Amino acid sequence: LLGRNDEGLPVYLASGRFGPYVQLGETPERGSQEAKPKRASLPKGVSPESVRLDQALRWLSLPRTLGKDSDGEEVIAASGRFGPFIKRGTDTRSLTTADDVYTVDLARALELLAQPKAGRGRGRAARTVLKELGEGAEGKPLQLLDGRYGPYVTDGTVNASLPKGADPQALTREEALRLLAERGKAPKGRGRKAAAKTAAAKKPTTKKPAAKKAPTKKTTAKKATAKKTTAKKTTSRKSST
């Protein structure tokens, strides 16, 4: 027992088939018609021995109801197998690395739901725009996007990742321009090009089919059967005188 929530319900830490979890309320007896208590798995990297009551209550707060859209449909924030997401009916969107499933509000959720859904497959997923930063050095739109490896800024030509620990929402236009300028000056690695050249230089080796050896027939030496010549006995006829 970790403690109790504001309504006096007990909060337990337990271990099940899929690992440790926290539970709000008592487990009903087998065969009972009572509703099952709310449960939440421990996040990756969290040791069961270090779990506190406030953490457990935070995890148990999901899914969160954020409100309703203009059509009266409910919007929720939750965490699933593939990470945190928002949901409206059957329509879902993954949260970005800059969003927090515990603090995201209705306005941000509707903004994400208005964006096209990311396509499947590598390189085809639409990048989520986290922030518009105005115009870049050449008049191109300057944007803060959520990429596969974290947030980055781009002017459509050059991309620059944010420094580790930087707050994406606090990024200014001037900082973004500085990051892009530094990225543009950085020498490009030659590793890939060199590898491509050596790959092109190598001619495909055509394997010659191995000459099939003609099967050698074993000649069975026939033993010459020596025919025994049966000596015919010459019978001498006696001449009668």
Q: What is the pLDDT of residue 8?
A: 94
- Judged by DSSP in three states, 173 sits in helix
Give the C-alpha separation, 106 to 146, whole Å: 20
Tell me the pLDDT tens digit for each residue of 73-104. 999 999 887 788 999 998 999 888 888 999 99
Nearest to 38 by CA among 57, 18, 54: 57
Q: What is the pLDDT of residue 229?
A: 45
Q: What is the pLDDT of residue 47?
A: 92
Q: What is the pLDDT of residue 11?
A: 96
pTM of the model: 0.48
Tell me the pLDDT tens digit for each residue of 177-220. 889 888 877 555 444 444 445 455 555 555 555 555 555 555 44
Q: What is the pLDDT of residue 216?
A: 53
Q: What is the pLDDT of residue 227?
A: 47
DSSP per residue, 19-87: EEEEEESPPPPTT--SPPPEEEEPPTT--GGG--HHHHHHHHTPSEEEEE-TTS-EEEEEEETTEEEEE
